[in-house]
């Protein structure tokens, strides 16, 4: 075997406690993020076995999935959600885990607050009982979602048993066109690979398109890795990364910082290292994207027509069923389709950069009357920045309201549900049947596309509303 290693190999191999012949690796986990929905049964398992959490100091709990996004100072009205939140708080207290519950200044979506407070670090292994844990890969960490049995494993032993995934590199170079955001890049990749195209792989994103992205943008891309089936995605850390994490609450300080930097600077794929699969795309060809079906792979350039069933990979029957659910036809154009809801938020696009982009379009315009808009910051920190930067004024002026942080309409476990048959342009990550509420119809898109829809009331190419120089 060659001694040239990929970024993924370097991080993975340094965390293997034990390799089991013809079986999984026992992988040590540096950071474990916990939320209210996928943890109660895991804690119950610990109790039944009579064991403690092995490393509470490496475990962080936040409430986000089923929390309301208005009146967070009041008791949660849904009894089941309230019970889950109470359980998380009790479990966190019992096992000495830091808990950022509702109303806590650090509260927010698990994948938004992790990076904000420096819990997410390059070269770390990070897991959480949520598939979009892949977000943290933006920092050069190995981060992936796990099931509840695995949550219990990590609580009990700080380890997880995983076969090492195959490796894939996706290279994108070239100048992105104006109006094209990291979300579009990700939706483009998924549309090319389909939702199962990277199953079994861990992806590294390489090329100047990703190099030139902010950390927020990189997080959006890595976040969506799971939507092409990949366990996770990662980007080698660089000056942008180090600059972002420096001086955050949980990042190493002083001497420790220096030592950490020495290590972090070795985190790149060696020249000549081999991947099991390598793909290359031209960034300058990507356009603003939108989805028209019921999985994230059913996306296209916003100005294209919905493909015919025989032109797509996969089953014709499943494809037709999907269009039927959306009430769209093959050959339809998406431009001009009336919409009912707009959701700006989630761990995909609920960061400050996303609110800036949204505001850049709605500034000086008015929310369309037929649109209900939910603008949900990913965390209190994002909420504070929205206010500080004057974005809230722009939004209010345009007729929008800002809600309180949480997952919200991304999975509609709280009251933010899109009614049956209604269309939502959503900056979240999944357009599955009923994802945003039973019978809801979701069009995934960037914050720019969402903003254009919010002010026109229909699917609109955001470039028509943008100054040429805005990129």
Partner 1 sequence: MAYDKFNILKTSAVPLPIENVDTDQIIPARFLKATERKGFGDNLFRDWRYNSDDSPKQDFILNNPIYSGKILVGGKNFGSGSSREHAAWAIYDYGFRCVVSSFFADIFRNNCLNIGVLPVQVSPEFLDKIFQAIEADPNTELEVNLPEQSITIVSTGEQERFDINDYKKENLLNGFDDIDYLLNIKEDIREFAKSRPL
Q: Within 234-263, which residues bind partner 1 (CB under 8 A)?
A: none
Print the binding letters for residues 18-57 with ligand SF4: x by CB under 6 A, - otherwise.
----------------------------------------
Kindly state whether residue 28 participates in binding partner 1, applying the rule CB under 8 A: yes
- Tell me phi and psi for residue 379, to 5 degrees: -165, 170
| Identity of the residue, 88 or 359, whose beta carbon is nearer to partner 1 in the bound complex | 88
Alpha carbons 164 and 150: distance in angstroms, whole number: 16
Structure tokens at 100: 């950022």
Binding flag, residue 54, partner 1 (CB under 8 A): yes
Specify the residue, 44 or 279, whose C-beta has the smaller distance to partner 1: 44
Structure letter (DSSP) for residue 335 = T
Measured CA to CA, the distance from residue 129 to residue 134 in angstroms comes to 11
What the block records as the tokens of 143 is: 């981060």
* Site residues (CB under 8 A) for partner 1, limited to 295-314: 295, 314
Pairing of strands 232-234, 201-206: parallel
Min separation Cβ 423 and partner 1, Å = 18
Residue 113 C-beta: closest distance to ligand SF4, Å: 11
Nearer to ligand SF4, 132 or 218 (CB): 132
Q: What is the rounded CA–CA span in Å between residue 449 and residue 427?
A: 9
**Which of 112, 121, 189, 222 is close enough to bind partner 1 by CB under 8 A?**
121
Q: How many of the other CB atoms lie within 10 Å of CB of 313? A: 9
The kind and range of the H/E element at 7 are: helix 7-13
DSSP state for residue 41 in the 8-state scheme:
H
225 lies in the binding site for ligand SF4 (CB under 6 A)? no
**Cα distance between residue 256 and residue 73, in whole Å:** 39
Q: Does 45 bind partner 1 (CB under 8 A)?
A: yes
Distance CA 396, CA 363 (A): 10
Measured CA to CA in angstroms, residue 394 lies from 364, 367, 399, 461 at distances of 8, 11, 9, 21
Pairing label, strands 341-344, 372-375: parallel
Looking at residues 114 to 143 of the shown chain, list those that interact with ligand SF4 (rule: CB under 6 A): 130, 132
Fill in the per-residue mask, 392 to 421: x = in contact with partner 1 (CB under 8 A), - = not in contact: -------------------xxx------x-
Q: Is 429 in the site for ligand SF4 (CB under 6 A)?
A: yes
Q: Which does 336 bind (CB under 5 to 8 A by kind): ligand SF4, partner 1, none?
A: none
Residue among 357, 335, 334, 341 nearest 182 (CA): 357
Comparison of 6 and 429: residue with beta carbon closer to partner 1: 429
What residues form DSSP beta bridges with 444? 426
Answer with the entry of partner 1, ligand SF4, none that 346 interacts with (C-beta below 5 to 8 A by kind).
ligand SF4
Other CB atoms within 10 Å distance of the CB of residue 458: 17
**Residue 376 binds what, of partner 1, ligand SF4, none (CB under 5 to 8 Å, by partner type)?**
none
Q: Which is nearer to ligand SF4, 410 or 443 (CB)?
A: 410
For the record, the structure tokens of 42 come out as: 């895991």
* Residue found by looking up tokens 């390598």 in the block: 278
Counting contacts by CB under 6 A, is residue 411 touching ligand SF4? yes
Kindly state the smallest distance separating residue 192's Cβ from ligand SF4, in Å: 22
32, 65, 417, 463: residue in contact with ligand SF4 (rule CB under 6 A): 65
Pick out residues in 123-142 that bind partner 1 (CB under 8 A).
124, 129-131, 133
Given the rule CB under 6 A, which residues bind ligand SF4? 64-65, 109-111, 130, 132, 346-347, 407, 410-411, 428-429
């Amino acid at each position: 075997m060659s001694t040239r290693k990929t970024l993924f190999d370097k991080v993975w191999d340094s965390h293997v406690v034990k390799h089991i012949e013809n079986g999984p690796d026992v992988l040590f986990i540096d950071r474990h993020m916990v939320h209210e929905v996928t943890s109660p049964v895991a804690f119950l398992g610990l109790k039944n076995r009579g064991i403690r959490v092995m490393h509470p100091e490496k475990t962080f709990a936040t409430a986000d999935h089923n929390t309301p996004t208005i009146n967070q100072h009041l008791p949660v009205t849904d009894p089941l959600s309230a019970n889950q939140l109470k359980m998380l708080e009790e479990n966190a207290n019992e096992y000495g885990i830091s808990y950022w519950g509702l109303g806590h200044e650090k509260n927010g979506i698990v994948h938004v607050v992790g990076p904000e407070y420096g819990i997410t670090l390059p070269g770390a292994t990070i897991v959480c009982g949520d598939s979009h844990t892949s977000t943290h890969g933006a920092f050069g960490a190995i981060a992936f979602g796990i099931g509840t049995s695995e949550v219990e494993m990590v609580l009990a032993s700080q380890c997880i048993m995983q076969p090492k995934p195959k490796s894939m590199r996706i290279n994108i170079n070239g100048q992105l066109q104006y109006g094209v955001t990291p979300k579009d890049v990700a939706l483009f990749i998924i549309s090319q690979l389909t939702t199962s195209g990277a199953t079994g792989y861990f992806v590294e994103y390489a090329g100047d398109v990703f190099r030139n992205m902010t950390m927020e943008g990189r997080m959006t891309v890595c976040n969506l890795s799971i939507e092409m089936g990949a366990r996770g995605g990662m980007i080698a850390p660089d000056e942008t990364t180090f600059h972002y994490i420096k001086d955050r609450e949980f990042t190493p300080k002083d001497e420790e910082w220096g030592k950490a930097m020495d290590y972090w600077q070795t985190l790149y794929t060696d020249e000549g290292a081999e991947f099991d699969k390598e793909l290359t795309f031209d960034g300058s060809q990507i356009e603003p994207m939108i989805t028209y079906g019921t999985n994230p792979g059913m996306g296209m350039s916003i100005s294209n027509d919905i493909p015919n069933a025989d032109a797509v990979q996969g089953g014709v029957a499943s494809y037709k069923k999907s269009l039927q659910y959306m009430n769209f036809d093959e050959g339809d154009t998406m431009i001009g389709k009336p919409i009912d809801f707009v959701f700006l938020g989630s761990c995909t696009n609920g960061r400050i950069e996303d609110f800036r982009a949204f505001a850049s379009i709605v500034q000086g315009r008015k929310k369309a009357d037929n649109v209900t808009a939910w603008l949900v910051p990913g965390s209190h920190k994002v909420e504070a920045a929205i206010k500080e930067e004057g974005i809230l004024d722009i939004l209010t002026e345009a007729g929008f309201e800002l809600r309180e942080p949480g997952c919200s309409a991304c999975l509609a476990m709280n009251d933010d549900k899109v009614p049956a048959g209604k269309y939502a342009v959503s900056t979240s990550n999944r357009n599955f049947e009923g994802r945003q509420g039973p019978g809801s119809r979701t069009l995934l898109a960037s914050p720019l596309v969402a903003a254009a829809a919010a002010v026109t009331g229909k699917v609109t190419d955001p470039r028509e509303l943008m100054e040429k120089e805005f990129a």
